[in-house]
Amino acid sequence: MLFTLKRDKKDSHSFLFMRSVGIVASDFYVPERIVTNKDIEKIVDTTDEWIWEHIGIRERRFAREDELTSDMAVAAGKKALKNAGLSANEVEMIFIATTSPDMLTPSTACIVQDKLGAKYAGAIDINNACSAFVYGLEIASKFVADSTYKNVLLIAVEKVSAALTVEDRTTYVFFGDGAGAAVLGEVERGYGLLGSYLRTDGSGAMDLCIPAGGIAMPPSEETLRNGMHSVKMNGRKIWDFTIEAFPDAVRSVLKKNGYSLKDVDMIIPHQANYNIIKEGMKRLGLPMEKTYTNMHKYGNTVGASIPIALHEAVEQGKIKKGDLVVLAGFGGGLTWGANLIRWSDGK
Mean pLDDT value across residues 107-131: 96
Active site residue 339: no
Is the confidence at residue 8, as pLDDT, over 50? no
Active site residue 127: no
- What percent of the chain is predicted at pLDDT more than 70? 95
Active site residue 13: no
Mean pLDDT value across residues 299-307: 97
Which of 110, 151, 257, 270 is catalytic? The answer is 270
Model confidence pLDDT, tens digit, residues 286-301: 999 999 999 999 999 9
User: Which of 7-11, 21-25, 180-184, 300-304 has the lowest average pLDDT?
Assistant: 7-11
347 — pLDDT class (breaks 50, 70, 90)? low
Is the confidence at residue 2, as pLDDT, over 60? no
Q: What is the mean pLDDT of the chain?
A: 92
Query: pLDDT at position 202, please?
Result: 94
Model confidence pLDDT, tens digit, residues 228-279: 887 888 888 998 999 999 999 999 999 999 999 999 999 999 999 999 999 9
150 — pLDDT class (breaks 50, 70, 90)? very high
3 — pLDDT class (breaks 50, 70, 90)? very low
Query: pLDDT at position 17, please?
Result: 66
Q: Give all domains of the chain, ordered by start, each with its CATH number.
A: 7-190 (3.40.47.10), 193-342 (3.40.47.10)
**Angstrom distance (rounded) from CA 252 to CA 29:** 31
Query: pLDDT at position 144, please?
Result: 95
Model confidence pLDDT, tens digit, residues 76-115: 999 999 999 999 999 999 999 999 999 999 999 999 999 9
Is the confidence at residue 225, as pLDDT, over 90? no
Which of 37, 151, 273, 300 is catalytic? The answer is 300
Query: pLDDT at position 215, please?
Result: 82
Query: pLDDT at position 15, please?
Result: 45
Which of 37, 110, 130, 311 is catalytic? The answer is 130
Is the confidence at residue 346, as pLDDT, over 80? no
Distance of alpha carbon 165 from the chain centroid: 23
> Model pTM?
0.92
Query: pLDDT at position 169, please?
Result: 80
Query: pLDDT at position 83, please?
Result: 97
23 — pLDDT class (breaks 50, 70, 90)? very high
